[in-house]
Amino acid sequence: MRYYIVFDIGGTYVKHAVMNEHGDFLEKGRYRSERHDFHQFRDDLLNVVRQAQENYQLSGIAISSAGSVDSDIGHIGGSSALPCIHGPNFKEVFGGATGLPVELENDANCAALGELWKGAGRHCRDIAFVIVGTGIGGAIVKDGRIHKGAHLHGGEFGYMLMDVRYENGRIECKTWSELAATSALIRMAAKEKGMPERELDGEKVFALAESGDEAAQKAIDRFYFSLAQGIFNLQYAYDPEKIIVGGGISSRPDFVDEINKRLSVLLSLVPIAKVQPVVETCQFKNDANLLGALYHYLERHGELGEASGPSH
């Protein structure tokens, strides 16, 4: 049995787990993320590693993180809620301090790999993974592997232009994130109701709709249609076996039904479109990033064994 310490670096918390090569969780915990001081960030993470080493002989460190992760070199580019993580070489810093191999990957890619390994994407080779949160992100899996693209922007679905208008010599446009992220839902509901956005969140908008509030119902309908429109476009741009959706909104029990209703309408408007997208929700929710980070580590070190996902 081999043991690994796995981290999911988020904007508020760093989640961690001791796991074996089969993806079983042996211990789990979390601590507050240090945003600005990398020395403190490093010490916090190393303390968790040392505590785990008191009970387990660790074989390696696997990390999921926001940002444009260069898995080969060990740098995290781009930007995130944790400015201090952008710049240092994680493989050198944490590998040098512990003597353990270190592997890291982008959080959306990790979530997709977790679902590919043991969740909704199991036995699939081509999937699109969409995360709906404050913005929209995701990942592309092609032939069982993450496709990062030429500029590490593969899966940045939120940038897709969804509503482009040319009027009176002016061009106006909105991205998928601006129309179908949870922040967009809140903004639309607040506008419909004539109230400040700070007084609403996603749960409140749905609660208002369920109580009969027409403004909230209208905002939710527009939100679902915008989400379905992006999913429709992904299906015909990439043609995956499945489109798997994660994020808090996907936990709603009627989520897939609501998306499928809107997809049926869109398909009826485009008669030549014959493929109905297969939409499913993320199975592992908050644990998908940890699972995927471990999968990424095992794959890079040739240690997947009998617990592997699709053959490569």
Confidence tier at 307 by pLDDT (50, 70, 90): low
Contact 108, 139 (CB under 8 A): yes
Instruction: Give the SS3 label for residue 158.
Output: helix
How many angstroms separate the CA atoms of 70 and 144, rounded?
19
pLDDT tens track for 127-162: 999 999 888 999 999 999 999 999 888 999 999 999
Mean pLDDT of 26-45: 97
Do 93 and 228 lie in one domain? The reply is no
pLDDT tens track for 246-302: 988 999 999 999 999 999 999 999 999 999 999 999 999 889 999 999 999 999 999
From the CB of residue 7, how many other CB atoms can be counted at a distance below 10 Å?
Answer: 25
Alpha-carbon distances of 32 from 9, 15, 64, 306, rounded to whole Å: 10, 9, 16, 35
Do 148 and 246 lie in one domain? The reply is yes
Write down the pLDDT at residue 153.
86
Give exposure, 247-264, as e/b (b: 16+ Cβ within 10 Å).
bebbeeeebeebbbebbe
Confidence tier at 104 by pLDDT (50, 70, 90): very high
Asked whether residue 46 is domain-assigned, the answer is yes
Asked whether residue 237 is domain-assigned, the answer is yes
From the CB of residue 47, how many other CB atoms can be counted at a distance below 10 Å?
Answer: 11
Using CB atoms within 10 Å of the CB of residue 149, give its burial: 0 to 12 exposed, 13 to 18 middle, 19+ buried: exposed
The number of helices, as runs of H, and strands, as runs of E, in the chain is 9, 14
Do 197 and 262 lie in one domain? The reply is yes
Do 256 and 299 lie in one domain? The reply is no
> What total of structural domains would you count in the chain?
2
**Identity of the amino acid at 177:** S
Q: Which domain holds residue 268?
A: 122-282
How many angstroms separate the CA atoms of 287 and 290, rounded?
5
Do 272 and 183 lie in one domain? The reply is yes
Do 246 and 154 lie in one domain? The reply is yes
pLDDT tens track for 216-259: 999 999 999 999 999 999 999 999 999 999 988 999 999 999 99
pLDDT over 50 at 309, yes or no: no
Tokens of 152: 């590490």
Do 96 and 19 lie in one domain? The reply is yes
Do 154 and 262 lie in one domain? The reply is yes
Asked whether residue 294 is domain-assigned, the answer is yes
Q: Which of 114, 119, 109 is CA-nearest to residue 147? A: 109
Asked whether residue 312 is domain-assigned, the answer is no
- The whole-chain average pLDDT of the chain stands at 94
Do 132 and 105 lie in one domain? The reply is no
How many angstroms separate the CA atoms of 7 and 71, rounded?
15
Using CB atoms within 10 Å of the CB of residue 212, give its burial: 0 to 12 exposed, 13 to 18 middle, 19+ buried: exposed
Asked whether residue 143 is domain-assigned, the answer is yes
Q: In this structure, what CATH number is given to the domain that contains residue 34?
A: 3.30.420.40
pLDDT tens track for 106-131: 999 999 999 999 999 999 999 999 99
Mean pLDDT of 167-175: 91
Q: What percent of the chain has pLDDT over 90?
A: 86
Do 162 and 45 lie in one domain? The reply is no
Do 136 and 192 lie in one domain? The reply is yes
What string of H, E and C letters represents the secondary structure of 115-135?
HHHHCCCCCCCCEEEEEECCC
Asked whether residue 68 is domain-assigned, the answer is yes
Asked whether residue 300 is domain-assigned, the answer is yes
For 297, residues 6+ apart whose C-beta sits below 8 A from its C-beta are 4, 6, 60, 61, 62, 101, 103, 303
Do 186 and 255 lie in one domain? The reply is yes
How many angstroms separate the CA atoms of 135 and 184, rounded?
8
pLDDT over 90 at 14, yes or no: yes
Asked whether residue 272 is domain-assigned, the answer is yes
pLDDT over 60 at 61, yes or no: yes
pLDDT over 50 at 310, yes or no: no
Write down the pLDDT at residue 152.
81
How many angstroms separate the CA atoms of 189 and 109, rounded?
31
